[in-house]
Each structure stands twice: as structure tokens, then as C-alpha cells.
């Protein structure tokens, strides 16, 4: 009898548990449905890493301000130059020196016509700016001041003298060509041009040129040619 009561008690407990389970799992229409919120984390885009390109300032390409390095025929190569070809009524009074390449950069100095300068031999200090102007860094003055100038107003030191001598010698040879011609005298306009090209010849040479264009006689003309060739001949030989 004891075992029977124990079995019945166990059975009652199991039935009660089953009933509770059914009630808990049943459909309760009065209950409020539970809303589940899913939080999504936005994925940040990966940064695009672009490798650096070549350094234009060292490779002959453009610079940050749009200028480019000079080509082989534009580089001054560290040679002596002279300021030339300034406009007659230049409002600045000379060639303006700037802190960098380009007329819009700060002014740091002024060079008058004939001023000697030494140009740079650093390829990075010779630039072609956006308007096509070629700018060089130069040093000048007793204190070795430095700055940038437009290279169109510079010429190799001695180049002007060479050009002037070539013009003068050309006129001299043209005058001599009349010596063996009819009459032997040269046109006055030609002798005047040669006198000007000689830039103030001695009085005897100036007088000889006047006599070559208007001689007193053949003997005087021959002496005038001798005076001229004795002075100009060694220069143009």
C-alpha cells in the first residue's frame, strides 16, 4: 500500500507540471507582442591610399605654382651676364629684382642698365613661369645679394661688345670695298655710320673718314685709307 501511495503522488506532481507547461505555452491573445529592435552599425568606408607621384620639382616637371624648370637652352649655367635692353622710359627705372620667379612676387632690388650679375648654375633656380617668361636667380653687388630677374634683360658679358665689333668691322670692310671702285671714295652716309660704330675714334681717324667720302685728290684719298686701316685694321683682322 505504501508503494501505491508514492506512485500516485508522483503521478499527481507530473500532471500538475504538465498543466503549468501548457498554460505557459498557450496563446494569450491579451498579451502585447514584443518588438525586437536590431541595431546595425554602419560600416565606415575604407580610406583610399594613393601612393605619391614623382617629385616634379626635381624631375623637370611643373611646380606647385604652375611654373616649370628651364630646358637646356634656357639655363644660364652660372655665367657672368649684364643687364641690357631696358625700355627707354622704364617706369621702374631699371630691372626689378624679385624674391621669387614672377613679377607678382615681392620686389627686393633694382638693377640699372649695364649692371653685372652672376647667374645661377642650379637647375632648380631657373624657371619658366605661366606667361612663358624665363626667370633666373642671380647674385649681384658687393654683398652678393640674391634675387630673381626676367632673363630677357640679361646678356652674356662680352656678348654686346662682340656684336658691336662685328657691326663695326662689317662697315669697315664695306668702306674698304670702295677703295678699288670708280673714284675710290665711299658714300658719306656709310663713313658716318662707321664713325658712329667706332664710338668716338681719334681725331685723325674721324678726319680720315671725312676725307674718304670727300677727298681733296687721289693722294689725299690714299692717305686717308692708310690712316683708317692703320687704326681699324688690327681690330678687325
Domain residue spans in the chain? 59-156, 159-236
Averaged pLDDT score across all residues of the chain: 75
What per-residue confidence (pLDDT) applies to 69? 87
What CATH superfamily classification does 59-156 receive?
A: SH3 Domains (2.30.30.40)
Confidence of residue 3 (pLDDT cuts 50, 70, 90): very low
What per-residue confidence (pLDDT) applies to 228? 93
What per-residue confidence (pLDDT) applies to 57? 28
- 3-state SS class at 147: strand
What per-residue confidence (pLDDT) applies to 208? 94
What per-residue confidence (pLDDT) applies to 161? 62
Region 52-64: mean pLDDT is 33
Q: Is residue 140 predicted with pLDDT exceeding 80?
A: yes
The count of other CB atoms within 10 Å of the CB of residue 46 is 6
Task: Extract the runs of DSSP E, i.e. beta strands, from 92-234.
Answer: 95-98, 107-111, 116-119, 126-128, 134-140, 145-150, 154-156
What per-residue confidence (pLDDT) applies to 203? 87
pLDDT digits (tens, 9 = 90+) for 178-213: 998 888 999 999 999 999 888 778 888 899 999 999
Which helix (H) or strand (E) segment holds residue 81: the answer is strand 80-83
pLDDT digits (tens, 9 = 90+) for 63-116: 446 788 887 777 777 778 888 878 877 788 889 999 999 999 999 999 988 888
What per-residue confidence (pLDDT) applies to 24? 45
Please, are residues 120 and 129 in contact by the beta-carbon 8 Å criterion? no
CB neighbour class for 74 (10 Å; exposed up to 12, middle 13-18, buried from 19):
middle
Cα separations in angstroms, 147 against 42, 62, 87, 102: 56, 21, 21, 11
What per-residue confidence (pLDDT) applies to 162? 67
Angle at 178 between CA 176 and CA 181, to 5 degrees: 135
Select the highest-mean-pLDDT range: 38-47, 161-170, 171-180.
171-180
What would the grid cell of residue 198 be? 667706332
pTM summary value: 0.43
Q: Is pLDDT larger for residue 19 or for residue 167? A: 167
What per-residue confidence (pLDDT) applies to 17? 45
Q: Is residue 21 predicted with pLDDT exceeding 50?
A: no
Amino acid at each position: 500500500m505504501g508503494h501505491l501511495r508514492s506512485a500516485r503522488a508522483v503521478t499527481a506532481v507530473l500532471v500538475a507540471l504538465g498543466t503549468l507547461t501548457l498554460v505557459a505555452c498557450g496563446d494569450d491573445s491579451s498579451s502585447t507582442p514584443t518588438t525586437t529592435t536590431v541595431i546595425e552599425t554602419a560600416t565606415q568606408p575604407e580610406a583610399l591610399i594613393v601612393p605619391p607621384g614623382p617629385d616634379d620639382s626635381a624631375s623637370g616637371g611643373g611646380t606647385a605654382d604652375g611654373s616649370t624648370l628651364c630646358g637646356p637652352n634656357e639655363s644660364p649655367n652660372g655665367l657672368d651676364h649684364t643687364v641690357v635692353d631696358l625700355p627707354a622710359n622704364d617706369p621702374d627705372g631699371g630691372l626689378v629684382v624679385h624674391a621669387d620667379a614672377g613679377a607678382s612676387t615681392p620686389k627686393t632690388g633694382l638693377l640699372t642698365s649695364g649692371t653685372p650679375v652672376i647667374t645661377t648654375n642650379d637647375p632648380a633656380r631657373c624657371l619658366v613661369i605661366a606667361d612663358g617668361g624665363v626667370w633666373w636667380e642671380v647674385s649681384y653687388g658687393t654683398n652678393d645679394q640674391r634675387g630673381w630677374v626676367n632673363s630677357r634683360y640679361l646678356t652674356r658679358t662680352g656678348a654686346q661688345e662682340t656684336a658691336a665689333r662685328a657691326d663695326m668691322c662689317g662697315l669697315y670692310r664695306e668702306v674698304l670695298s670702295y677703295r678699288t671702285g670708280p673714284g675710290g671714295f665711299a658714300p658719306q652716309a656709310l663713313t658716318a655710320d662707321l664713325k658712329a660704330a667706332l664710338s668716338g675714334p681719334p681725331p685723325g681717324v674721324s678726319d680720315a673718314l671725312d676725307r674718304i667720302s670727300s677727298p681733296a685728290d687721289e693722294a689725299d684719298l690714299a692717305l686717308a685709307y692708310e690712316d683708317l686701316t692703320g687704326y681699324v685694321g688690327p681690330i678687325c683682322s
